Amino acid sequence: MDALKKQSRIRAVHAACRAQGIDEETRKALQLQVTGKASLKDMSARDLSDVLDYLNRQARGVQPGAEWRFVFKLPAERKAMAAKVYRLAEKLGAARGVGIMSKRYIEGIAEQMLGADTVLEFCDASTLHKVVQALEVHLKRVGAK
């Protein structure tokens, strides 16, 4: 993405925050929750899009954490591991002071540690188990308990 497009998306994030009455401190906490990065300048194009999507969902009244509803609708053989991923996302969010970490943030950790694209809704039980292991390692790295 060229610098002009990135700057345009950064302005869009600021505009969306102003429209919703979100102050700078809250915006940075939200960005940290969604992407794991507090600064817009450190974000990739995908990160900026994720922040904008989150803000747009919030403007439409979609509850924060609603992206995790799929966990409780999965078949039994995948539900237990997906619920564990959800609990680890809560732990990581609590350690970062942001509630629950976004699904995209968790998928990003899984992608880095497993070396493959990971969409949690479509993972089999074995892959979900590997995601749990990756998140437990990540929690130890960030010092969460």
- pLDDT at res. 85: 93
What integer pLDDT is reported at residue 144 of this predicted model? 67
Phi-psi region of 97 (alpha: psi -120 to 50; beta: other; left: phi over 0): left
- On the CB side of 23, CA atoms within 13 Å amount to 2
Asked if 37 and 109 count as a contact pair (C-beta separation under 8 A), the reply is no
pLDDT tens by residue, 76-121: 999 999 999 999 998 988 887 777 888 888 888 888 888 877 788 8
Predicted TM-score (pTM) of the model is: 0.61
Task: Tell me the residue type at 78.
Answer: R
Asked whether residue 63 carries a pLDDT value surpassing 70, the answer given is: no
* For residue 24, pLDDT beyond 80: yes
